[in-house]
């Protein structure tokens, strides 16, 4: 699979920051349908069909709109994300660009390839991107 930043070419600036060109293996489809909680409380990720190279913190960031869509505030969702060392270490401006790009991509896909679940996720991504803009400008 091409790297995540290549999938988002039309939504990113021409010069993609190095922080978004990670080489870690990312699942990229953080749907609850792709997660299995074991009897021991471990979470297993299923269906790796969309896996690709991405920043080490990409899957954590992709989970944030899911948490917001489930009823958490952006602040609460990011508090959960910050428990993951790779996300905590991510450059704030790169996370903000990631959030902005995710929102742009999902908004485009909601408009051009509508699916029942996209509206709520797009709204959550919009809320996260707006939150990140405030966080980054502080």
Q: Which residues contact 51 (CB under 8 A, 6 or more apart)?
A: 1, 25, 26, 27, 28
Cβ pair 86, 95 in contact under 8 A: no
Domain ranges across the chain: 4-137
pTM: 0.93
pLDDT digits (tens, 9 = 90+) for 17-28: 999 998 999 999
| For residues 31-60, average pLDDT | 96
Q: What is the pLDDT of residue 135?
A: 85
Cα 103 from Cα 101, distance rounded (Å): 5
- The pLDDT score that the predictor gives to residue 40 is 97
Please tell me the number of Cα atoms within 13 Å of 92 on its side-chain side.
9
Q: Can you tell me whether residue 34 is helix, strand or coil?
A: helix
Give the separation between CA 96 and CA 118, rounded to whole angstroms.
Answer: 21
pLDDT at position 119 over 90: yes
């Amino acid at each position: 699979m091409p790297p995540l930043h290549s999938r988002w070419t039309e939504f990113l600036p021409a010069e993609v920051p190095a922080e978004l060109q990670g080489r870690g293996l990312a699942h990229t489809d953080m749907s609850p349908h792709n997660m299995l909680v074991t009897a021991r409380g471990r979470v297993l990720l299923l269906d790796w069909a969309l896996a690709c190279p991405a920043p080490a913190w990409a899957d954590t960031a992709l989970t944030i709109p899911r948490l917001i869509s489930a009823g958490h505030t952006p602040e609460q969702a990011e508090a959960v994300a910050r428990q993951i060392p790779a996300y905590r270490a991510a450059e704030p401006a790169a996370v903000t660009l990631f959030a902005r790009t995710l929102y742009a991509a999902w908004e485009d896909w909601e408009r051009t390839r509508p699916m029942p679940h996209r509206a709520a996720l797009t709204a959550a991504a919009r809320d996260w991107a707006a939150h990140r803009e405030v966080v980054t400008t502080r």
